[in-house]
């Protein structure tokens, strides 16, 4: 059965001879149907087999006909469906097909984003009641269960009339006989009236006296994939071509509703309705719409989905599959790169990555690329690419930005992170980039905020000139490139920085031939291949870091680079601890300490801090480590100098 329906089919075991499921299936993850225990339910004893239709089975739907004449009339106008999978229970037949592309409200897509027309008189699986004997068919899609194998409750066996795979086609290509009433056309208005009342009200003479604003808001929600994010105070509308929810202003929605009321007035010849489309009325409709389609946190928790130019990669554990766009993914960020399973990225790997870094770091870069695609920082680490210029650090960062999509990237400015409005810039972004930064990039006051921006902390993002604060969770990916060795503003929090940093050092010789804008060129020519490489990185990250938490697997050398950078960032402390001791009769001048420090750093392959910064740290460190304060009467060459008493250099 699985061979006919496809690997995406969500099969549900039912009691033999009934339509009663043996397991709960509505909230069951798809991967849960692939376990040995679940498969055993179909084998231990005779069981009926049903299919959980629609989105759960990759768009697999069914059309149920109770009468042979209705089935014949349908197949007469849809000859291509005469060869699709068809089953039969007690009468008529079930035509199985897979809907290609986005399914709209007309094909029974049921989700919590908006009201949906009632497409059948009863939910679940079953026949129309006798009072509905004029119905020609029943459309079965999302959240519906249909039996395809086993024994019918009336005693006969389910049979396959046409043993074939389901035909794949867009819903719009299905042809319906001209004299048939379609459920989504006849039931939609009745459902809306049941929920919200009549669309308008008239007086004794038949003139329209008032508009039912709630009805028109419900109608718009039914006819459009739209949601309202109250934390951001924004509407988002779904676009089937891109598969994305994109910002839609209240003004645009107001115009659409006005045009819809105009069309309705002409359709039912109630021209007074046109006069009621005042700004006040339309604004009130918008207010109702906000409540109907409100979805707080609509775009959070997309943990294992990667939206691409030609589909959506969905991870089920270690497995991944490309699925069609759907509003149920609730995507607003996507990579502009299309998936091509056969694409390679030989120049990217052999000219930009492998020659420039240690072999262990090639895999580390791949894992970070996978996290960038996932759109959130699963490892809660930021990546630093440092080393001499001309080695490819910036070009790699450019490739990552092209892979993620520039619409999802913004510049990281640590000097402004402590400022009032800076975090608002990060709303809707997934990747923060600092390219060719100075050595003090992580030494600014605002740099401490970075730990929270990658570590899952919550922040208030205030919009300049806006209406309030928006909460932003720090799940951002961060990549920083620098030709200098960065110094971190530790403030005693070495452990937290150690958990947040990963470093790839570019130490190989510069390439003999440089290509202008090589990163952009690689994205253009090998984008799909680089995407495949990054998707493998995403799989590795998901395997190493389960949902309950964890960390990337790092080598001893990779951990050592972080430890060295942190020690270098605290190099005056390390110098004093290793080279200075207490001595009741000793003393050292500031100049002597600074000169000895300057000689000490090259021994450790560290870059000394600027003299002014060493001076600023020295007095506090001497008090902390040796309990001495600065003195201005240290004698050298018969002159008083600034320094410290009761200390000396080791071995002196």
CATH number for 632: 1.10.10.10
Query: pLDDT tens across 42-64, in order?
Result: 887 789 999 999 888 888 999 99
Arithmetic mean of pLDDT, 397-415: 96
Residue 460 is predicted with a pLDDT of 87
Residue 386 is predicted with a pLDDT of 94
- The H-or-E segment that residue 37 falls in is helix 36-40
Whether the predicted pLDDT of 353 surpasses 90: yes
Residue 650: exposed, middle, or buried by beta-carbon count in 10 A (0-12, 13-18, 19+)?
A: exposed
Q: Are residues 591 and 540 in the same domain?
A: no
Arithmetic mean of pLDDT, 625-632: 95
Q: Are residues 499 and 617 in the same domain?
A: no
- The H-or-E segment that residue 574 falls in is helix 571-579
Q: Are residues 389 and 457 in the same domain?
A: yes
Q: Are residues 356 and 245 in the same domain?
A: no
| Residue 18 domain-assigned (yes or no) | yes
> Between β-strands 167-169 and 93-99, what pairing exists: parallel, antiparallel or unpaired?
parallel
Residue 577 CB: number of other CB atoms within 10 A?
A: 12
Higher pLDDT, 206 or 11: 11
Arithmetic mean of pLDDT, 219-224: 91
Q: Are residues 138 and 212 in the same domain?
A: no
CATH number of the domain encompassing residue 485: 3.40.50.300
Query: pLDDT tens across 118-144, in order?
Result: 222 223 333 322 223 347 888 888 878
| Residue 376 domain-assigned (yes or no) | yes
Backbone angles phi and psi of 255, in degrees to 5: -65, -40
Residue 109 is predicted with a pLDDT of 35
Given 514, 534, 559, which residue is the final one in a domain? 559
Given 292, 313, 328, which residue is the final one in a domain? 292
Given 292, 312, 338, which residue is the final one in a domain? 292
Q: Are residues 576 and 640 in the same domain?
A: yes
Whether the predicted pLDDT of 102 surpasses 70: no
Residue 113 is predicted with a pLDDT of 28
Q: Are residues 514 and 555 in the same domain?
A: yes
> Please, are residues 496 and 507 in contact by the beta-carbon 8 Å criterion?
no
Q: Are residues 201 and 156 in the same domain?
A: no
Whether the predicted pLDDT of 292 surpasses 60: yes
Residue 187 is predicted with a pLDDT of 57
Split at pLDDT 50, 70, 90, the class of 555 is: very high
Residue 185 is predicted with a pLDDT of 59
Arithmetic mean of pLDDT, 551-563: 94
Arithmetic mean of pLDDT, 510-517: 84
What is the C-alpha to C-alpha distance for residues 400 and 535, in angstroms, rounded to an integer? 13
| Residue 297 domain-assigned (yes or no) | no
| Residue 286 domain-assigned (yes or no) | yes
Domain, as residue range, for 456: 346-559
Backbone angles phi and psi of 167, in degrees to 5: -70, 140
| Residue 544 domain-assigned (yes or no) | yes
Residue 394 is predicted with a pLDDT of 95
Residue 101 is predicted with a pLDDT of 67
Query: pLDDT tens across 331-346, in order?
Result: 999 999 999 999 999 9
Q: Are residues 371 and 518 in the same domain?
A: yes
Q: Are residues 484 and 580 in the same domain?
A: no
List the one residue out of 458, 441, 547 whose CA is nearest residue 501: 441
| Residue 88 domain-assigned (yes or no) | yes
Q: Percent of the chain at pLDDT above 70?
A: 92
Query: pLDDT tens across 580-604, in order?
Result: 999 999 999 999 999 999 999 999 9
| Residue 356 domain-assigned (yes or no) | yes
The tokens of 602 are what?
């090259």
Q: Are residues 456 and 529 in the same domain?
A: yes
Q: What is the DSSP letter of 350?
A: I
The tokens of 409 are what?
């990237």
| Residue 329 domain-assigned (yes or no) | no
C-alpha pair distances (Å), 316 with each of 34, 55, 320, 541, 612: 10, 15, 6, 13, 54
Arithmetic mean of pLDDT, 156-168: 93
Q: How far does the chain reach from its first CA to its final CA, in angstroms?
A: 85
What is the tally of structural domains in the chain?
A: 4
pTM for this prediction: 0.69
Please state, rounded to an integer, the average pLDDT across all residues of the chain.
88
User: Look-up: residue for tokens 């090998």?
Assistant: 526
Q: Are residues 192 and 105 in the same domain?
A: no
Arithmetic mean of pLDDT, 570-574: 94
C-alpha pair distances (Å), 258 with each of 216, 289, 290: 10, 14, 17
Helix (H, G, I), strand (E, B) or coil at 242: coil
């Amino acid at each position: 059965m699985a061979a006919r329906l496809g690997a995406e089919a969500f099969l549900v075991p039912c009691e033999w001879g009934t339509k009663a499921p043996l397991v709960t299936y509505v909230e069951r993850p798809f991967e849960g149907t692939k376990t040995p225990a679940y498969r055993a339910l179909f084998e231990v004893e005779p069981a009926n087999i049903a299919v959980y239709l629609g989105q759960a089975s990759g768009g697999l739907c069914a059309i149920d006909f109770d009468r042979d004449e209705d089935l014949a009339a349908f197949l007469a106008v849809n000859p291509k469906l005469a060869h699709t999978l068809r089953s039969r229970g007690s009468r008529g037949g079930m035509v199985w097909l897979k809907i290609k592309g986005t399914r709209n409200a007309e094909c029974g897509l049921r989700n919590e984003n908006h009201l949906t027309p009632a497409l059948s008189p009863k939910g679940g699986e079953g026949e129309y009641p006798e009072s509905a004997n004029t119905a020609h068919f029943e459309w079965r899609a999302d959240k519906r269960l249909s039996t395809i194998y086993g024994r019918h409750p009336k005693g006969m066996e389910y049979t396959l009339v046409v043993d074939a795979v389901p035909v794949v086609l867009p819903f719009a290509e299905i042809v319906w006989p001209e004299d048939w009433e379609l459920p989504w056309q006849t039931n939609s208005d009745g459902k809306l009236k049941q929920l919200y009342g009549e669309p308008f009200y008239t007086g004794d003479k038949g003139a329209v006296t008032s508009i039912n604003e709630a009805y028109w808001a419900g109608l718009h929600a039914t006819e459009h994939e739209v949601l309202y994010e109250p934390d951001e105070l924004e509407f988002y509308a779904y676009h089937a071509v891109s598969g994305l929810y994109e910002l839609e202003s209240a003004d645009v929605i107001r115009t659409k509703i006005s045009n819809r009321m105009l069309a309705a007035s002409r359709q039912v010849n109630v021209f007074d309705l046109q006069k009621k489309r005042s700004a006040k009325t339309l604004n009130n409709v918008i207010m109702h719409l906000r409540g109907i389609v409100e979805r707080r946190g609509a775009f959070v928790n997309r943990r294992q989905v990667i939206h691409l130019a030609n589909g959506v990669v969905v991870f089920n554990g270690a497995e991944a599959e490309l699925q069609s766009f759907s509003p149920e993914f609730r995507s607003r960020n996507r990579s502009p790169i299309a998936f091509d399973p056969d694409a390679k990225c030989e120049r990217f790997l052999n000219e930009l990555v492998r020659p420039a870094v240690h072999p262990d770091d090639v895999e580390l870069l791949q894992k970070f690329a996978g996290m960038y695609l996932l759109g959130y920082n699963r490892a809660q680490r930021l990546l630093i690419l440092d080393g001499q210029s001309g080695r490819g650090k910036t070009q790699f960062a450019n490739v990552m930005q092209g892979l993620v999509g520039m619409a999802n990237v913004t510049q990281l400015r640590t000097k402004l992170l402590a400022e009032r409005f800076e975090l608002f810039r990060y709303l809707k972004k997934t990747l923060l980039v600092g390219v060719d930064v100075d050595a003090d990039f992580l030494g600014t006051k605002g740099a401490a905020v970075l730990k929270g921006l990658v570590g899952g902390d919550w922040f208030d993002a205030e919009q300049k000139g806006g209406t309030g604060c928006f909460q932003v969770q720090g799940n951002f990916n961060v990549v920083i490139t620098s030709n200098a060795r960065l110094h971190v503003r530790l403030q005693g929090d070495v452990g937290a920085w150690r958990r947040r940093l990963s470093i790839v050092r570019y130490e190989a010789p510069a390439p003999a031939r440089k290509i202008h804008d090589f990163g952009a060129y690689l994205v253009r020519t090998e984008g799909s291949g680089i995407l495949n490489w990054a998707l493998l990185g995403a799989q590795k990250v998901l395997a190493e870091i389960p949902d309950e938490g964890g960390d990337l697997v790092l080598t001893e050398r990779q951990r050592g680079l972080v430890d060295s950078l942190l020690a270098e960032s605290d190099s005056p402390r390390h110098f004093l601890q290793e080279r200075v001791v207490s001595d009741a009769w000793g003393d050292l001048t500031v100049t002597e300490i600074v000169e000895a420090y300057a000689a000490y750093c090259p021994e450790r392959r560290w870059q000394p801090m600027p003299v002014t910064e060493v001076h600023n740290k020295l007095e506090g460190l001497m008090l902390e480590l040796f309990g001495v304060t600065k003195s201005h009467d240290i004698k050298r060459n018969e002159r008083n100098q600034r320094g410290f008493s009761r200390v000396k250099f080791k071995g002196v």
